[in-house]
Amino acid sequence: MKTKNSKLYGSIVYISMITVFIAIILISSCKKEAAKNAVIQNDMIEAAQKTGSKILSGNVAIESDDSGIVLNYNNGSKLIFIEKIRGTKTVDINRIHSAEIITSDYGVIIKNLDDKNVFFLINNDSESLKMFQSISSFFANRYQSSTVFGITVVNAEKA
């Protein structure tokens, strides 16, 4: 009788140990993922600090044609108009639905929250080009960029 009980007890202990081991692995892997995401977000924080801007994060609807791009941020709370330079190709941002956005006097930085791709839309002046050259190091060459004619931001939030 003692043998059956000890085998049953041993099985329970063995299963419990495996369960605890799996739980520890899952918890530690979740912490690594959270740490990885924190590092990814630091690039936008550093860029915002460097340009003296704030980060907007939320839903975007994007429309574009040959002359410009309109970013509708959070259902019209902010509209960002980007005028393209005629005859130049601009990065394709039309499929972005959720993004972090930095608008500044130098241009716009858009980070697609779905795939973490980063896009620079840089104003066409030497000061803006220099600023984005210094910002690019924050993104470890994980970005696409285009030069644009100008950017207008309209705050449309209701009071």
Note the pLDDT tens digit of each residue in 117-133: 999 999 999 999 999 99
| Residue 70, pLDDT score | 96
- From the list 119, 125, 123, 122, the residue with the least C-alpha distance to 142 is 119
Low-confidence ranges of the chain (pLDDT < 50): 1, 31-40
DSSP of 111-125:
EETTT--EEEEEESS
| Residue 15, pLDDT score | 73
| Residue 37, pLDDT score | 45
Beta bridge partners of 151: 82
| Residue 24, pLDDT score | 67
Q: CA-based angle 148:52:145, to the nearest 5?
A: 30
pLDDT tens-digit profile of 87-107?
A: 889 999 999 999 999 999 999
| Residue 157, pLDDT score | 67
CA-to-CA dists, residue 48 to 58, 64, 132, 138, angstroms: 16, 25, 11, 11
Alpha helices in 52-148 (DSSP H): 126-135
